[in-house]
Amino acid sequence: MRPFYTLILTAALCFVAGYTIGKKHKPIPTAPATEQAEAVPVSEPAPIPAPIPETRQPTAPEVIPPKPTEPERFAARALQAEITLTDSIARSLICELLTATEKHLKVRRKSDNRIVEVPVTMLSQEDQAFAAYLYKVEQEKQLPASISDADKIWDELFKGM
């Protein structure tokens, strides 16, 4: 209880000291808020100097190997004997690619040499794009063959005309 009385006594002494000092030194009167202050002339800002261009010595350009584009990556991947397909939940399948259709990939699993059809919708985004590339390439290979067969037939039929 003794420290509490000491604290109260110290606070009271500080209050009295502040009050008496404040009485002796009267505050400086301030101008009323309605009066306007004198306008002070504003000097113009100094102009900003133009930046000095740096002169660089020509250096040999860094040779950055170009990243292969998506079709180039897919073409290189399609030529591999074994490819790894990943599904949407990160399971992997090591296989040999046989054929590609719009909705399925026909592959031979390396683990047991079984031929299975993998639905494209089960694959990861990158592998779905790869499957679409494979299907597109197969379609391009089939179209010229069928057109050339038809051309041969028409040529034989109308040879003498």
What is the CATH classification number for the domain harbouring 91?
2.30.30.700
For 82, the domain range is 70-155
**Is 133 inside any structural domain?**
yes
Average pLDDT over residues 115-120: 93
Task: Read off the pLDDT of residues 100-111 as tens digits, 9 standing for 90 and up.
Answer: 988 999 999 999
**Is 15 inside any structural domain?**
no
Higher per-residue confidence, 25 vs 90: 90
State residue 39's pLDDT score.
64
In the chain, the number of structural domains is 1
Q: Report the DSSP beta bridge partners of residue 96.
A: 108
pTM of this structure: 0.47
State residue 36's pLDDT score.
59
**Is 106 inside any structural domain?**
yes
**Is 9 inside any structural domain?**
no
**Is 77 inside any structural domain?**
yes
Measured CA to CA, the distance from residue 101 to residue 18 in angstroms comes to: 94
